[in-house]
Amino acid sequence: MKLRDQIISSAKETISNEAKAIANLENFIDDDFIQAVDIIYRSKGRVVVTGIGKSAIIANKIVATLNSTGTPSIFMHAADAIHGDLGIVQQDDVVICISKSGNSPEIKILVPLIKNFNNTLIALTANKESFLGLEAHHVLNCYVEKEACPNNLAPTTSTTAQMVMGDALAICLLNLKGFSSRDFAKYHPGGSLGKKLYLRVGDIVSQNMVPKVTPETEVANAIIEISEKMLGVTAVLEDEKIIGVITDGDIRRMLKDQQEIKGLRAADIMSENPKTIDVDTLAVEAMDILKKNKISQLLAVENGKYVGVVHLHNLIREGIL
């Protein structure tokens, strides 16, 4: 077999094996799973997720997912727990212990200690008959027939199954809590994803200068206003109301058609009925309007009054695109 064919075959077999194992997890959504979700949902404490080796890595990921979807969680390494970190576990906390075999030496030491604290213990394991499976109050079954590793040794399919079961748990809790996209944004304020959910036009406009002229402003002064405010546009206002807009494009077209600009006023070259957007509109909606109309700027209004400009470059800089 050629190297290329060997690589493709191996990759496809790995994906196929893991996909089948993940699909089989549906059969393990039972009363234990339901009760585990309900206990965490009603808990006044946090979820402490623990494990060792590759399971510890998955535990960290599950903690991250739970925290970002509204379920306060913390990671505790199983080996460190029996050397002092067990103090992480508080009275009302629920503990999830992850172990494929359920029989690791550290797990056998840790489990009785957790139960002595009277905390609810939820096992996430591939072996319900293991020490962990038999000692836990509830078991989330992550059984896999074999690893994707051809030697059936390296944790591959099993860790994927653990992660997916953790995701199922997190999403069930999310739905029970009625966790919305707005709630999600509270926990992701620094990322572009969060910004799409909370950043509003007004947040951007407040950072820009406010270009404006009157209908009687000479074109030469309108050009200066556009240049100084660095947004490629100026609003044309009459009695504080928007009656038009002048863009860089309008200036270029005017210079192409006019030999002499002296005496021309803003009203002579402005475009009427410019597109506006309310400051309370989400920035991602502003981006959609710009793309749909193939324009670079929108005039922002608050209670019908002109307050500034939102530019395509503002949105790109904020990671909205």
| % the chain with pLDDT above 90 | 76
Domains parsed from the chain with CATH numbers: 3-178 (3.40.50.10490), 198-317 (3.10.580.10)
**Span 37-54, pLDDT tens digits:** 999 999 999 999 999 999
* 77 among annotated binding-site residues: yes
**Span 292-306, pLDDT tens digits:** 999 999 999 999 999
Has residue 161 got a pLDDT over 80? yes
- The 3-class secondary structure across the chain, one letter per residue, is CCHHHHHHHHHHHHHHHHHHHHHHHHHHCCHHHHHHHHHHHHCCCCEEEEECCHHHHHHHHHHHHHHHCCCCEEEEEHHHHCCCHHHHCCCCCEEEEECCCCCCHHHHHHHHHHHHCCCEEEEEECCCCCHHHHHCCEEEECCCCCCCCCCCCCCCHHHHHHHHHHHHHHHHHHHHHCCCHHHHHHCCCCCHHHHHHHCEHHHHHCCCCCCEECCCCEHHHHHHHHHHHCCCEEEEEECCEEEEEEEHHHHHHHHHHCCCCCCCEHHHHCEECCCEEECCCEHHHHHHHHHHHCCCEEEEEECCEEEEEEEHHHHHHCCCC
Which of the four pLDDT bands, split at 50, 70 and 90, describes residue 186?
A: low
| Amino acid 68: pLDDT | 87
Average pLDDT score over the chain: 91
Has residue 259 got a pLDDT over 80? no
Has residue 188 got a pLDDT over 70? no
For range 250-267, the mean pLDDT: 83
| % the chain with pLDDT above 70 | 95
Has residue 19 got a pLDDT over 90? yes
**Span 193-249, pLDDT tens digits:** 666 667 899 999 999 999 999 999 999 999 999 999 999 999 999 998 999 999 988
Task: Retrieve residue 278's tokens.
Answer: 């309310």
Please give the C-alpha separations between residue 71 and each of 64, 91, 98, 259, in angstroms, as whole numbers: 10, 17, 18, 68
Has residue 181 got a pLDDT over 80? no
Which of the four pLDDT bands, split at 50, 70 and 90, describes residue 189?
A: low
| Amino acid 319: pLDDT | 80
**Span 261-278, pLDDT tens digits:** 788 899 999 999 999 999
